[in-house]
Amino acid sequence: MKVLVTGGTSGLGHAMASALAAAGARVVLTGRSAEQAAEAAAALPGAIGIGLDVRDERSVARAVGEAWSRLDGIDMLVNNAGIGMRTVNPRFMTEPQAFWEVSPDGFRAVVDTNLTGYFLMARETVPRMLAAGGGRIVNIAVSASTMHRAGFVPYGPSRAGSESLSRIMAADLLGSGVTVNLLLPGGPIATGMLPPDTAPGNRTFLDPAVMGPPIVWLASEAAAGVHDERIVAVDFEQWLHDRGGDR
C-alpha cells in the first residue's frame, strides 16, 4: 500500500503515518516545512517527507506529482493537514471569542487549510487514481459537537464543511473504484492545536495513537470497497465487530 498523509509531521498525522509505516506501507508524509517533513519521515521505516502547503494549488500539484513519482502511484490519500482555533484565538478554551470578533484573515486561513486544502488535495489526486483504476481517500474529521460549539468560529464551520465535502465526494465517486471515508478520533486529542496549559496531564485527552488501528485497517485488503463510512477511532473495534469484520 502506497499512502500520502498530509500534515504528517506531528499529532494525528504523524501517528497515522507511523502506524502505516510500521504495518509495511510505503508512506509519504507532508508538512509546510520541507525540513520538518524530512525529519519526521527519517524516523519512520522507508518513509519520505515532502514540503506542502495545502492552501496553494501549485504546491499541491507539485507535491502530489512528486509523491506519485517517488511511490510509483498513490493507493490512499489521507487528508489530515489542518490548523486549529489557536491561530485565531490562543485562549479559546478559557476565553471563547464570538464569531463577530474573528478577523476575516483568521477565518480565511482556517477555512483555506481545513476545507479548501482537502478539496485541492482530492482534486489533484482523484483523476490519477481513476486513471490507475482505483484508490482510497480518508478524510480526517472531528466530533459533531465541535461544529456548533460556542466560540468555535472558524474551526467548527471548516470541519463541518470538510465533512459535507467528503459525503459529496463519496456520492460523486460511487462505483468508480475510488472510495471515500471519514475517520475521527472520537474525543479531544492532546496535540499542538490546543493551548499548552490544557493538554498535558489531562486524562480526558486521547492519545493520537488511537488513530493507528483504524487507518491501518482502512489501508488493508479487508477494507477494499468500504465506502462512505464515518468511523470513530475510539469505537473502531466495536464498529468492526458490528459489521462482522476482522481486525
How far apart are the two ends of the chain, measured CA to CA in Å?
Answer: 17
CA torsion, ordered 110, 113, 114, 118, to nearest 10 deg: 160
What are the distances in angstroms from CA 165 to CA 64, 138, 139, 174, 215?
20, 12, 9, 14, 20
Which value, in Å, is the radius of gyration of the alpha carbons in the chain? 17
CA torsion, ordered 20, 26, 30, 35, to nearest 10 deg: 110
**Distance of alpha carbon 229 from alpha carbon 242, whole angstroms:** 13
Please confirm, yes or no, whether 155 is among the known catalytic residues.
Answer: yes
Q: For every residue of 202-231, which 3-state class applies, written as one string? A: CCCCECHHHHHHHHHHHCCHHHCCCCCCEE
* Active-site hit among 92, 152, 155, 236: 155
Catalytic residues: 155
